[in-house]
Structure 1
Amino acid sequence: MNSALIRQRLKPWMLPIAMLGGILFHNFIDMIAFVAPYLIFIMLLITFCKVKPHEFRVTRLSGLLIVVQILGSVLAYLALLPFSRELAEGAFICIFCPTATAAPVITGMLGGSIPRLATFSIVSNVSVAVLAPVLFTLMGSEADLSFFESLTIIATRVVPLIILPLFTALAMLKYIPKVHGKIASHQSVSFYIWAVSLFIVVGRAVSFIMAEPAEMIPEMLWLAGISLIACCAQFYIGRRIGRRCGDRIAGAQGLGQKNTVLAIWMALTYLHPIVSVAPAAYVAWQNTINSAQLYFKSRKGTVCL
């Protein structure tokens, strides 16, 4: 059995293995967590090298997805607020959270449009950076920060992870096209980098949950349940919107695959700390769906949601 065949058979199981590893070794994640932003940068650089500048266009798909992301999060919050503020905040953060910086990678593997998803990823993350301070203030943020302090902190954590790899890829295309082409021809490397990133993110999420006291378990289960509903609903709605706009995969990944690391940080910074359980659980839900999609695509050549 040659190495290419081994990789092909192992690939559908890489994400579950990474998730299981993160769960088992979560106590050691802090030792390597610092490399996560660098892994995301490299992963996005590889992905963006496959995209031509003229392919970045804000389309109807981006417009519809951002409306669902922003309006849906507010409506979910208002609907659950009479029952529980923590559950309302959990639903809000799972929907309001921007598209994962790694979403273009998974979209490309599933056969969707990387340019469409990369464009929406920028729209989604910049929208959150601008709107988050306003919405968190209206919700009664736990953080004692001014509007401009909140805007600066969120923007500096989100925007560089997307903008810098994009600008680097465009600069390489112009000044060192041979290197750019070499990177563009090795897209499969980004998948394995994503698996390592997932190992780190899952480990950190498990650590967040384990740190909560035992008496909070019932509420944590409710938050995990709200997170599951939000995850499935967003993949489904995104898929429906994407089908109407000519790319169901980009639609589903754009709305369903979230930047959970940022979501956990925002929950801990601006909301009640227990709310961080919702995006922590979202890590498991979205990557279970991604693993299933990659498995079915590798086995049958189709994407199943």
Structure 2
Amino acid sequence: MTLRSTLTAAAAATALALLPNAAQASVRYPDPRPVTGQQIIHDPSVIKLKSGQYVAYSTGGIIGARLSKDGKQWDDAGNAFAEPPSWWYEYNDTGDPWAPDISYRAGTYWLYYAVSSWGTNHSAIGVATSDSGLPGTWKDHGKVFSSETTDSWNAIDPGVIKADGKLWMAFGSYWTGIRMVRLDPATGKALPGATVGQLATRPDLPYAVEGPYIVKHGRHYYLFASYDACCAGVNSTYKIRVGRATDVTGPYVDSTGKPMLEGGGDLLLEGHGRYLGTGGQSVFQDQGQDWLAYHYYDAEDNGTPKLGLNRLGWVNDWPVVK
């Protein structure tokens, strides 16, 4: 590096340090991929179907659905279900489902979701199956796992992964953070008497971590989670953090070695510019490329929650948003 380039770099660094936080964040984080059509979404779970279409399921409606032919233009496709299954009303008066997770296994699409009410851990996770993965084709199979007010965890925000021939579900929101339970591959439901492990938490109340999603890359498993507060429009402080482990059940640590059970987790993506409160994330693959799907609150549209999509790269075996 020449003296001139050294001075230029130093000047740029000084200028960056003087920028407002939002401007610094804009330099640090790339904007989401431009999308058109029905952009409004919350807690998106995206997959590319065998048909070649993309589908995104989300919180809102009876598990709201969006369809796309190219991953850029998204169209409203109604809901996963025509009517809420009757058992949902045990957990809220409106039969309102949250935070779906779609996956494909053994020739079948599996859709996990949560039903609960704001501020309580009287909650349950359910599952449905479909041959095509399209809205309107799902058959519900009832409860997978539940929690009561006497439990120290909250059974919402499911994220399912198959690892070493076993099926696992990460879940959790606030209370004592992120938990994990083993599932029966045949039914997709929690094994009777299965131990509930713990993957991540915060050192202080209210343990604001939720929305787990686990992927495998190379020899590691990576736990993505949303930290801090969602659902407050432009006042949302949601951000995505990540840790990794050599075993799907943990322990997960960040790049400094700090355990996620002690509040660790590398900051992957946070609000910047107009894109505030980034979280509710999931990861999907398209032609060998990993993509991060999430929602953000649009500061230039009254804090409306919208779909964020970014390529996910890997540098020194850690994920990087592109």
TM range (shorter): under 0.3
Structure with more helix by fraction: 1
With a CA cutoff of 8 Å and minimum separation of 6, indicate the structure with the bigger relative contact order.
Answer: 1
TM-score (norm 2): 0.24
Q: Which structure has the bigger radius of gyration?
A: 2
Q: Which has the higher strand share?
A: 2
